[in-house]
Homo-oligomer: A and B are copies of this chain.
Amino acid sequence: MAKKFVSMRNLRFLLDEVFNVEELIESTYFDEHNKKTFKMVLDESLKIASKMLHPIFEEMDRKPPELVEGKVKVHPHVKKILREFGKNGWIASSFSYDDGGEQLPLLVANSCNFVFAAANYSASVYSGLCAGAVKLILSFGNKELKEKYAQKMIEGKWQGTMALTEPSAGSSLSDITTSATPDSDGAFKIKGNKIFISAGDHDGVSNVIHLVLAKIDGAPAGVKGISLFVVPKLRINGDNLTSNDVNVTQVFHKLGYRGAPITELSFGEKDNCYGYLVGEEHKGLSYMFQMMNEARLGVGLGATAIASAAYYAALDYTENRVQGRKIGGKDPLSEQIPIIEHSDVKRMLLFQKSIVEGSLSLILQCCKYEDMQQTASEEDKNKYFLLLDLLTPVAKSYPSEMGIESVSQSIQCFGGYGYCEDFPVEQHFRDMRIHPIHEGTTGIQGMDLLGRKLVMHNGKAFFLYLEVVRKTINNVSNSDLKPLALKLEEALKKLEHVTSHLMVLAQTKGPDVFLADSVLYLELFSIVTIAWQWMKQGVTAKEALAKDPSKSEISFYEGKIYAARFFFAYELPKIEGLLVRLTDNDPLTIEMTAKHFID
């Protein structure tokens, strides 16, 4: 039987009680759904996750993809999984009906994706990558592209990829060199190399459709000269598929996340690779970035899901592992106790709970902002757009960075056993480590938040953020929660203070100094944001407790209050140290040079 990797109770708590998913169906966009169908979809995702994904969690790690005669061989179940996801509408679940989707709220669709990723992160990315790639075509491609490619990708018969990174252009996308030369029929000849392409090739599909960033000959230098192309592995010639001169030159051997092939690709080695422009010339990066935001949310989601699986593994172990006695009662003849009863173990579990459930709450908050753009008035649309845009780097990086610590604490709960392959947590630890890197490193997220999102539209997004957090604070009436609300208000004031301080720095000392510690600012901002989410969960739990719930429900809600208290007691104070640094004005990382590291 599959071990528990997610809490469906917690998902329902967030969806129904905290984020009130039901209010979305009042809008015409979502009105064909109801609470019951949401629950059915969610239950179905757990079934698929338990039956198809989780059983091969270890196997996919132990037998990673291999490059055999130019083709990538993956776990044989990948094909089945992709077809299942295609057949039953999972790939396009949040797409509009017009785009062939189920028009589910992202809140619900991503809750299902969370369940899939928690069951087996590697297995879950194939369909996610299809969805991201096909959405680019549907959003910006012409009719022909849509007709030729979308359906097969939505059905999971063809894999979709996003091909941005090159050997010499990782974080610095402006330096890509893949070229596109105009050819006949509006097609382009593509030439170049891409690396770290997830699901860049595999034998679970009959074709792979790459969404490739490249520069059209003569295009302006830098990001303004980047265009987006559909480059299929196999060209469509009537009913036949023929080689498009796309070759896999390497499958990377990785620390974790080993069930998914990350590949190096060469395009046009024989000058016979064709690509088809998506949208307009030179606008490729802006198209890509609309998908990138969803991809970044997806990374946060995946990180949280892995931490969730590790947390439940630790919970299961600590409930059953008997070791030691209460500190006050060390009689060696007395029975030993389950280690979950030791305060230090509870602290480690609460840490994991607060990270997992706090991160998931933030991600669903972001999903709701996305959904509300479908249902809101024109004026409010922009508000939700800005809030989502502001929170995306937080939702990407906090779960990724803290997820590493959370899984590490899970290992710690197991002691020596956690270090061994007999338990899944060592794999979770390896799988997790990719998240602060892919889809924009934490460093990039820090610059994005402070250098772009904070200052855009004269800080409008930030002011909206302060408003919604304060709204939560002002709604707190329960006397147990008042002290937490006060702490959150204090923290918010500190965030405002440090933000103003940095804005002055930007003007007086320039962008280098301003952005030097943007990762610390991101961390500070993230902690306050997760505290806000715990405040929301605390309020909801207190309201539920006031309604005389059943005994097990009381435990659940009380658990929420403990976790909220934990976050405010152990995690929120971390902003104090960050504040000290962010306001101390010693530009040492700018002054110091490479030679000081060398000896």
Chain A interface (Cβ < 8 Å from any Cβ of B): 7, 9-10, 165, 168-172, 174-175, 195-196, 221-223, 252-257, 315, 319, 322-328, 330, 332-333, 336, 338, 340-347, 349-350, 353, 404, 408, 411-412, 415-416, 418-422, 426, 429-430, 433-434, 436-438, 441-443, 446-447, 510-512, 515-520, 552, 555-556, 558-559, 562, 565-566, 569-570, 573-581, 584, 586, 588-599
List B contacts of A221 (CB < 8 A): 332-333
In the complex, the answer to whether B412 meets A441 with C-beta atoms within 8 Å is: yes
Q: Which residue of B lies closest to A12 (CB)?
A: B599
In the complex, the answer to whether A416 meets B165 with C-beta atoms within 8 Å is: yes
List B contacts of A593 (CB < 8 A): 341
In the complex, the answer to whether B576 meets A512 with C-beta atoms within 8 Å is: no
In the complex, the answer to whether A586 meets B565 with C-beta atoms within 8 Å is: yes
Q: Which residue of B lies closest to A332 (CB)?
A: B222
Complex CA–CA separation, A595 to B338 (angstroms) = 13
In the complex, the answer to whether B592 meets A350 with C-beta atoms within 8 Å is: yes
List B contacts of A421 (CB < 8 A): 252-255
In the complex, the answer to whether B562 meets A592 with C-beta atoms within 8 Å is: yes
List B contacts of A597 (CB < 8 A): 315, 340, 349, 353, 559
Complex CA–CA separation, A231 to B591 (angstroms) = 59
Complex CA–CA separation, A569 to B577 (angstroms) = 9
Complex CA–CA separation, A345 to B519 (angstroms) = 11
| Known contacts A344-B447, A347-B589; 6 further A-B pairs (Cβ under 8 A) | A252-B421, A254-B420, A255-B419, A338-B594, A552-B599, A569-B581
In the complex, the answer to whether B327 meets A515 with C-beta atoms within 8 Å is: yes
In the complex, the answer to whether A170 meets B594 with C-beta atoms within 8 Å is: no
Closest chain B CB from A410 CB (angstroms): 12
Closest chain B CB from A228 CB (angstroms): 18
Complex CA–CA separation, A566 to B596 (angstroms) = 13
Complex CA–CA separation, A594 to B519 (angstroms) = 36
Q: Which residue of B lies closest to A518 (CB)?
A: B344
Q: Which residue of B lies closest to A446 (CB)?
A: B344
Closest chain B CB from A285 CB (angstroms): 12
Listed from nearest, the 5 A-B pairs whose CB atoms lie closest are A222-B332, A559-B596, A576-B576, A573-B580, A573-B577
Complex CA–CA separation, A345 to B447 (angstroms) = 13
Q: Which residue of B lies closest to A13 (CB)?
A: B599
Complex CA–CA separation, A173 to B462 (angstroms) = 54
In the complex, the answer to whether A599 meets B438 with C-beta atoms within 8 Å is: no
In the complex, the answer to whether B594 meets A319 with C-beta atoms within 8 Å is: yes
Complex CA–CA separation, A527 to B168 (angstroms) = 39
Other-chain contact of A574, B9, B438, B574 (Cβ < 8 Å): B574
List B contacts of A578 (CB < 8 A): 573
In the complex, the answer to whether B437 meets A599 with C-beta atoms within 8 Å is: no
Q: Residue among A252, A253, A326, A577 with the most chain B CB within 10 A? A: A577
In the complex, the answer to whether A408 meets B430 with C-beta atoms within 8 Å is: no
List B contacts of A257 (CB < 8 A): 419
Complex CA–CA separation, A510 to B597 (angstroms) = 49
In the complex, the answer to whether A415 meets B429 with C-beta atoms within 8 Å is: no
